[in-house]
Amino acid sequence: MQEVTTSRVVIVGAGLGALYAALELAPRPVVLISPEPLGEGASSAWAQGGVAAAMDASDTAAAHARDTVKAGAGTVDAEVADLVTRDARDFILDLTAKGTPFDRGADGGYVLSREAAHSFARVVRVKGDQAGAQIMATLIDVARKTPSIQVLEGVMAIGLETSSDGRVEGLVVQSASDTGSDPVMLRGAAVLLAGGGSGGLYAVTTNPPRIRGQVIGLAARAGAVIADAEFVQFHPTAIDVGEDPAPLATEALRGEGSILLNRQGQRFMTQVHPDAELAPRDVVARAIYAQTQAGNRPVLDTRDVLGARILTQYPAVASACTRNGIDPATQPIPVAAAAHYHMGGIATNTEGRASLKGLWVCGEASSTGLHGANRLASNGLLEALVFARICAQGIAAEVPEADAPPVVLDLFGSGVPPDAEAVRQLRETMTTGVGVVRDATGLSRALRTIAALEQAHGDSPSFLNMCATATLIAAAALLREESRGAHERSDFPTPHAGPGERSFLTLDGALTLRARICETPE
């Protein structure tokens, strides 16, 4: 295998966490590994709601932390919640200084939206539903002007090399083209994984096509501990028009007062939860799912509260509706629950360090303990920012400043890309057996199918990474014999008594469980 050694810090990913960490590391030289052109294919750019922060004079970071803990259904690490919310305001001010055009009122104050399970309006937004895209555009512009940052586009990570004592010593990369390339071992001064979550492992998802658990999977295959894998958040209001990925109808629409109706025109959330449409996401997602399963195709009705204003105030939503023949100013928007955010991921401590030595992780690929069993809306981008800085500070303390020439990779030959039909079957399996509502039968069947797909298509490293993450999610879901937050077991409908507990699992442990399931007659 070709080997390339650099004194640059190697960052996997090109979303919010990756870019912010690269900027925080300046002037230390870094190289970003991005499968897509910069600004494309990252979940950060698709985030509509915004960044949660206590910006209002009557709001506090402590209240934000309490809401985070409450929404997480007993498994949030309170120390991490305090850590992330404490400096949230500073990150908004820093992004503003970098040029992010947050919505401002006539008095110059930030326009704040209230989203589900928040006790205050504290979501800072851009043009209604453009926060992720605009923050990314700002950071990309700054990054391109920063001499210490090199971006390798069209390259994807497929593996980690570790030493006998579990220290990360290299990153295996290849071309992200349809045919791939021969693998290359890239050895850098440090490795930061910031390559996204796992939503794309599901057939119905709001995530970009490449976000299919590969980064979590490659770390798991190297021996990293994975935390809270069973907790996958399903967004209640993906726009149900048959697109893959599904467009998103931001939660801010419900914050504005939009309501959910079923086919009979009944507002069903008032019968489900005291907060109705602003109940925690898991509650709304299950209610939407139940309506869908009953054939009562649910819709989001924005007409009375927004009318034609939705066309200008929420352009991403309006555009998705228009291209599918829906006029949201005069028609309700069909919605469905879709895999949106993975609360689980590579377990990290408060310094952003994984269980493998020499490996840092930030963003959705990590599991810091902030989100618990049910992420509080718009905490995802905030967590990515906070831990990007924490990881950058940790790496800077260990990596001396030094000049480094650009990394040059010779990506020749051809690799083994994932088989498209196998990926389709994997995604359908996850939606069917490991979706909004789970049970032992469906989870066991999913593990058997994943094992069969892996055996038939295990020559593709990228597909092995997907299967590793899928196995971890399904195995952790089978082991948690209770319902908690986003994890709903129809055969164990109530949560365990007392405080909740986080889950920690290695791939070896998940594979042992999978093998036992496969040996058991169905």
Place of tokens 């071992």: 185
Opening angle at CA 231, ends 155 and 87, nearest 5 = 75
CA–CA dist 211, 194 (Å, integer) = 11
CA–CA dist 481, 464 (Å, integer) = 27
Burial of residue 350, with CB atoms counted within 10 A of its CB: 0-12 exposed, 13-18 middle, 19 or more buried? middle
Nearest to 173 by CA among 186, 188, 161: 186
Nearest to 507 by CA among 477, 481, 479, 469: 469
DSSP string covering 373-428: TSPPTTHHHHHHHHHHHHHHHHHHHHS-----PPP-----S---PPPHHHHHHHHH
Nearest to 360 by CA among 186, 160, 176: 160
Which strands form 112-113's sheet, in the order they lie side by side? 51-52, 123-124, 112-113
| Helix (H) or strand (E) run with residue 171 in it | strand 168-175
Which DSSP state fits 130?
Answer: -
* Amino acid at the residue 187: R
| Helix (H) or strand (E) run with residue 232 in it | strand 232-239
Cis peptide before 236 (omega within 30 of 0): no
Active site residues: 281
Nearest to 322 by CA among 313, 100, 272, 331: 331
Number of residues that make up the chain: 522
Nearest to 239 by CA among 134, 183, 310: 310
| Helix (H) or strand (E) run with residue 513 in it | helix 507-519
Pairing of strands 366-367, 345-347: parallel
Q: Please, which residues bridge with residue 293 across strands?
A: none
- Is-contact 38 149, C-beta < 8 A? no
Place of tokens 């070896």: 508
CA–CA dist 485, 43 (Å, integer) = 22
* Local structure of 449: helix, strand or coil: helix
Largest Cα separation within the chain, whole Å, is: 68
CA–CA dist 212, 37 (Å, integer) = 18
| Helix (H) or strand (E) run with residue 156 in it | strand 155-162
Cα separation values, 7 from 12, 187, 404, Å: 15, 8, 6
- Is-contact 360 171, C-beta < 8 A? no
CA–CA dist 266, 291 (Å, integer) = 11
Which DSSP state fits 343?
Answer: S
